[in-house]
């Protein structure tokens, strides 16, 4: 679990009643002359065209098995990889950087919360970075804020996509099919 007091999500400054920063590296950074070196990541971002940046990233989705019994939790894993030796940043539609879906329903829900705000955001990949995310689908579809309905036996498509427009066409999505019997 991320702890709020140990994270950067807590505003810290010199004002009394706001927590002090245990890790104030401003000075050491300045001493190390960090401001003088070229930021290669920003550099490559500025000069690499968007279509090339997208080619760098692969998305993959894998379930623990192909067949499940009714009611059995479906564990799956989403892997994303940057194939390039330079860092890549993709602009996403909202701070939700990626989504997963069952038969096209994001988060297996009929209420789509993947773009809660208009605010765009950035999904960053380090050089050659691989990211892995684990999820479990409970074999239910959320019909409303407070109601979930179990699905019937049959085939279901699980998918994952980076939260950009037309992710599938741009190669930033993946899907797999399972059967529930």
Partner 1 sequence: MALLEVEDLEVRFYTEDGVVNAVDGVSYRIERGEKFGVVGESGAGKSVTALSVMRLIDNPGQIEGGEIRFKGENLLDMDEEEIRSIRGSEIAMVFQDAQTALNPVYSVGEQIAEAIRLHLGYDDEAARDRTIEMLERVGIPDPADRYSDYPHQFSGGMQQRAVIAMALSCDPDLLICDEPTTALDVTIEAQILELLDELADEFGTAIQLITHDLGVVAETCDRVMVMYAGKPVEKAPVEDIYYDPKMPYTVGLMSSIPRIGDERDRLQTIPGTMPDLIQLPPGCSFHPRCPYAEEVCTQIEPPLVDPETGEPAEGVDAERGAACLAYTGDLQNELGYEVHVEGESHRSAVRDVEEITGGDTDV
Ligand X SMILES: Nc1ncnc2c1ncn2[C@@H]1O[C@H](COP(=O)(O)OP(=O)(O)OP(=O)(O)O)[C@@H](O)[C@H]1O
Binding positions for partner 1, rule: CB under 8 A: 1-2, 4-5, 8-11, 15-20, 95-97, 113, 116-117, 121, 123, 131, 133, 135-136, 138, 140, 142, 145-150
Between residue 3 and residue 22, which ones bind ligand X under the rule CB under 6 A? 3-4, 7, 9
Is residue 2 near ligand X by the rule CB under 6 A?
Answer: yes
Structure tokens given for 56:
């760098």
- Please state the closest distance from residue 42 (CB atom) to partner 1, in A: 19
Q: Judge whether 64 and 179 are in contact, CB under 8 Å.
A: no
Quick one: 128 or 150, whose CB is closer to partner 1? 150
Q: Which of these segments, 1-9, 56-64, 75-83, 115-123, binds ligand X (CB under 6 A)?
A: 1-9
Phi, psi for residue 29 in degrees, rounded to 5: -65, -45
Quick one: 7 or 37, whose CB is closer to ligand X? 7
Q: Which residue has the tokens 């409970």?
A: 138
Q: Judge whether 75 and 117 are in contact, CB under 8 Å.
A: no
Q: Judge whether 134 and 110 are in contact, CB under 8 Å.
A: no
CA distance 109 to 14: 44
Quick one: 12 or 43, whose CB is closer to partner 1? 12
CA distance 22 to 87: 29
Give, in degrees to the nearest 5, the angle at Cα 44 between 90 and 93. 15
- Please state the closest distance from residue 114 (CB atom) to partner 1, in A: 9
- Please state the closest distance from residue 13 (CB atom) to ligand X, in A: 17
**Which of ligand X, partner 1, none is residue 16 near (CB under 5 to 8 Å by kind)?**
partner 1
């Amino acid at each position: 679990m991320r702890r709020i007091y140990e994270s950067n999500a807590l505003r810290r400054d010199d004002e009394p009643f706001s927590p002090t920063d245990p890790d104030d590296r401003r000075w050491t950074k300045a001493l190390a002359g960090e401001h003088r070196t070229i930021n290669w990541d920003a550099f490559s971002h500025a000069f690499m065209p968007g279509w090339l940046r997208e080619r760098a990233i692969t998305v993959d989705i894998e379930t623990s098995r192909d067949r499940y019994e009714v009611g059995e939790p479906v564990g799956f894993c989403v892997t994303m990889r940057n194939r390039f030796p330079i860092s890549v940043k993709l602009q996403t539609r909202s701070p939700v950087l990626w989504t997963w879906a069952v038969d096209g329903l994001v988060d297996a829900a009929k209420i789509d919360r993947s773009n809660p705000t208009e605010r765009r955001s950035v999904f960053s990949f380090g050089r050659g970075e691989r990211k892995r995310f684990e999820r479990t689908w409970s074999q239910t579809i959320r019909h409303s804020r407070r109601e979930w309905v179990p699905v019937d036996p049959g085939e279901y498509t699980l998918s994952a996509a980076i939260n950009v427009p037309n992710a599938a066409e741009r190669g930033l999505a993946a899907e797999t099919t399972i059967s529930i019997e």
